């Protein structure tokens, strides 16, 4: 079977530029949080199309031009220490389809490229591991983001990368409920051996088992594994249910599932069999402004959940589908569909988080530190970027 690979760079860049964050409406609990800036650095003289922060490690800041494989390394004063790339037919090559970096226990860079496989590189670009792709797959086109779509974890002394590759399993050419029922949605690769295992079928009660079929974008698992508690927290992109697994053993065991009352989040009931093709990522003209789970991060004992709601104006959405919407209507719908972020407490309290304007509509959590970028002036070709970091504070 020939793989279907859809990755449209111009769409991704446009998605980044057209989206923005806003303060969330208050939830049932009156307390709320905001992001307090602690410090920042300015990166100057940067010539890059999609310049995104990758992480901070041992006094160095790493960035990438996501429209290429250029990597930039800065010191704590914002001075450029090194720049390298992995373009062309070279060992360890990766492309714009590669994920954000993670850092392994030796300080190496780990990334997943859906076209070229998993790469483990030293900070100076020297190749440690250069793994092939696991299986033919359908890529999931999405806006460039600081959010991670994979996670590097340690279990029993070994290092693994957990991720979704939106794989096309062997199947009989039928995209039907039976296919979804037997599908596993999470992959884990051993970074020493490249041995990859599949985990997590749709749990009983998931709306993906309701007899309908879905765009592949709806199925992607959004997750966070907590090494201390050995708990895996997982939500599927278009389903507002938090599944909690005990992953202290070889296989994750479901121990809890809870519907999260995310304001404005609308559950999509799917298509009749045959209405959409296997591997179709999505179709904005058929289904504009879908509700999406974007990210789950552990912050202290709490979970940060970011998502986009669906606007309430059904007639306005219908006018978009019919290509009759005015610019004013489109702007209003975009405003209603801006990303929201909430803090979920272990006791179930759901608290509003007010965020500043974020470049690439996303942030990166590292322990109790949150990193984000300032959006350059859209009217100028910026060669200067600002990276902020801070922490959540109660209002």
Per-residue model confidence as pLDDT tens digits over 205-216:
999 999 999 998
Instruction: Report how far residue 327's alpha carbon sits from residue 28's, in angstroms, rounded to the nearest whole number.
Output: 34
Element housing 231 (H / E)? strand 231-236
For residue 336, give Cα distances in angstroms to 72, 160, 313, 317, 378. Answer: 36, 38, 9, 11, 22
- Report angle CA 263, 202, 171 to the nearest 5 degrees: 130
Asked if 101 and 92 count as a contact pair (C-beta separation under 8 A), the reply is no
Mean pLDDT of 33-52: 93
Residue with tokens 């121990």: 255
Q: What is the pTM of this model?
A: 0.91
Contacts of 292 (CB under 8 A, 6+ apart): 217, 237, 238, 307, 308
Mean pLDDT of 162-191: 84
Biggest CA-to-CA distance, the chain? 58
Contacts of 239 (CB under 8 A, 6+ apart): 206, 207, 208, 218, 267, 293
Instruction: Report how far residue 63's alpha carbon sits from residue 53's, in angstroms, rounded to the nearest whole number.
Output: 4
pLDDT, averaged across the chain: 88
Q: How confident is the model at residue 17 (pLDDT cuts 50, 70, 90)?
A: very low
Residue 20 has pLDDT above 90, yes or no: no
| pLDDT, greater one: 26 or 74 | 74
Residue 138: the pLDDT is 64
| Helices within 322-389 (DSSP H only) | 327-336
Tokens of 50: 């999609």
The rounded percent of the chain whose pLDDT value lies above 70 is 87
Q: How confident is the model at residue 31 (pLDDT cuts 50, 70, 90)?
A: confident
| Sheet containing strand 60-65, strands side by side | 51-57, 60-65, 71-74, 80-84
Nearest to 336 by CA among 286, 282, 295, 289: 289
Which residue(s) pair with 198 in the sheet? 187
Contacts of 172 (CB under 8 A, 6+ apart): none
Residue 378 has pLDDT above 70, yes or no: no
Residue 56: the pLDDT is 97
| pLDDT, greater one: 171 or 32 | 32
Residue 222 has pLDDT above 90, yes or no: yes
For residue 151, give Cα distances in angstroms to 145, 162, 189. Answer: 15, 5, 11
For residue 244, give Cα distances in angstroms to 151, 263, 346, 373, 378. Answer: 16, 21, 12, 31, 41
Instruction: Report how far residue 283's alpha carbon sits from residue 218's, in angstroms, rounded to the nearest whole number.
Output: 11
């Amino acid at each position: 079977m020939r793989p279907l690979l859809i990755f449209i760079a111009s769409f991704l860049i446009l998605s980044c530029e057209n989206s923005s964050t806003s303060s969330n409406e208050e939830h049932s609990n009156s307390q709320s949080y905001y992001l307090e800036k602690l410090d920042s650095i300015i990166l100057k003289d940067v010539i890059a199309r999609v310049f995104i922060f990758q992480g901070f490690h041992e006094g160095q800041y790493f960035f990438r031009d996501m429209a290429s494989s250029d990597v930039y390394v800065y010191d704590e004063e914002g001075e450029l220490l090194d720049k390298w790339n992995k373009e062309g037919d070279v060992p360890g090559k990766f492309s714009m389809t590669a994920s954000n970096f993670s850092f392994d226990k030796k300080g190496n860079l780990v990334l997943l490229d859906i076209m070229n496989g998993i790469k483990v590189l030293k900070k100076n670009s020297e190749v440690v591991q250069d793994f092939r792709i696991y299986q033919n797959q359908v890529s999931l086109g999405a806006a460039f983001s600081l959010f991670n779509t994979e996670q590097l974890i340690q279990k029993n002394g070994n290092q693994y990368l957990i991720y979704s590759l939106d794989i096309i399993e062997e199947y009989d050419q039928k995209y039907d409920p039976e296919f979804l029922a037997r599908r596993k949605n999470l992959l884990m690769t051993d970074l020493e051996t490249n041995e990859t295992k599949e985990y997590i079928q749709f749990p009983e009660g998931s709306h993906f088992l309701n007899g309908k079929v879905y765009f592949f974008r709806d199925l992607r698992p959004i997750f966070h594994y907590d090494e201390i508690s050995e708990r895996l927290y997982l939500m599927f992109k278009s389903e507002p249910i938090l599944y909690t697994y005990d992953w202290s053993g070889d296989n994750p065991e479901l121990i809890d599932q809870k519907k999260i009352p995310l304001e404005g989040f609308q559950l999509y009931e799917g298509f009749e069999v045959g209405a959409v093709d296997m591997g179709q990522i999505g179709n904005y003209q058929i289904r504009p402004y879908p509700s999406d789970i974007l990210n789950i991060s552990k912050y202290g004992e709490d979970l940060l959940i970011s998502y986009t709601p669906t606007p309430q104006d059904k007639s306005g959405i219908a006018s978009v589908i019919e290509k009759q919407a005015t610019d004013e209507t489109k702007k209003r719908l975009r405003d209603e569909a801006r990303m929201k972020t909430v803090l979920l407490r272990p006791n179930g309290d759901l608290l509003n988080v007010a965020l500043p304007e974020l470049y690439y509509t996303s942030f990166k959590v590292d322990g109790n530190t949150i990193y984000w970028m300032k959006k350059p002036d859209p009217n100028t070709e910026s060669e200067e970027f600002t990276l902020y970091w801070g922490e959540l504070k109660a209002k």
